[in-house]
Amino acid sequence: MSDIPTCLPPERATRRSRLDLPPGAVDCHTHIFDSRYPLSPNRGYTPPDSTLVDMLKMHSQIGIERVVFTQPSIYGIDNSAILDGMAELSDNARAIVALDMNSTDEELARLDGLGVRGVRLNLDNKGGMPVPLERVPELADRIGELGWHLEFLFGGDDIHELMSLFRSLSVPISIGHFGYMDATGGVDQAPFQALLELVSEGNTWVKLSAPNRLGVGDLPPWDEVIPLAHALIETRPDRMLWASDWPHPNKFEVQPNDADLIEQLELWAPDPEMRRKILVDNPNVLYRF
Instruction: State yes or no: is 3 an active-site residue.
Output: no
Rounded Cα gap, residues 86 and 68, in angstroms: 9
The DSSP line for 26-56 is EEEEE--B-TTSPPPSS-S-BPPPB-HHHHH
Distance CA(61)–CA(271), nearest Å, equals 22
Residue 139 to residue 154: CA distance in whole angstroms? 18
Residues 6+ apart with CB under 8 A from 155: 123, 124, 180
Q: From the candidates 27, 124, 245, 260, give the one annotated as an active-site residue.
A: 245
One-letter identity of residue 142? R
Residues 6+ apart with CB under 8 A from 43: 4, 73, 74, 76, 126, 127
| Measured torsion, CA atoms of residues 246, 250, 256, 260, in degrees rounded to the nearest 10 | -40
CA angle 235, 218, 280 (to 5 degrees): 40
Active site residues: 245
